[in-house]
Structure 1
């Protein structure tokens, strides 16, 4: 699902007023972010099918379904943290709490980056082997999309919202 970019004049070097922060947090809450749950569920199902159907192929993405499930769990945990802790704090919180919350969430994003690197490794950078079945090719495309969606969301938060808070 395409989501509009955050509507904000802030840049990573800008100074954020409490009103700016509250507006950005409200926009994040409204628009959500990252990959859709439907895409994640579909990728897990496709990975299970590809791993089973191509069990004798040494190039199959072994362990991809489990990794996608772990990535899904991590993304869910981050969304819950953002929705129930960080975003309300950004809307109402004081400077010290905002700084701590921003640093915490940025460090959590590093953990997601590690999972994304492993996703690339398991999918051989989203390349299906020559002559691969359509389900395998579809899985590669979907995993590539998941990474792109998640990276775009992380970048919006890290480079716009959190960077503004930390300046």
Structure 2
């Protein structure tokens, strides 16, 4: 399911991954897991330990040239976990070079289903700073890119299990 209507302030995509929630969550709480599953090509590397609670942080080394939309080149962002429920949900915000902070949220929810885990990936910009709302820059990542990330997530979970 993809919701990318122009008025939406949140994009969600879903996919059933043939693995238990604990295996999927292991990738999502690992900073390097974020790099491994990125479909945009912007995430180059990460520094930090797997997260275990809201407030935990790690650094992602980015390359915006992968999108070719703005001349930001290489830079770092700090990922701050907003919600973490083991094997059920994880969400985060990003603090990078731009000010004021944008305030958008990325996340995943996991639900056990027959044959694996129903994974929902989302980007929510409903609470972004008014300055960024006026610039009308969202969504930065398309619903198709989020969907592609879910395919890469399935492959990554399978490879880590094997």
TM-score normalized with structure 2 length = 0.26
Higher relative contact order (CA 8 A, sep 6+): 1
TM-score normalized with structure 1 length = 0.25
Give the structure with the higher percent helix.
1
Larger Rg: 1
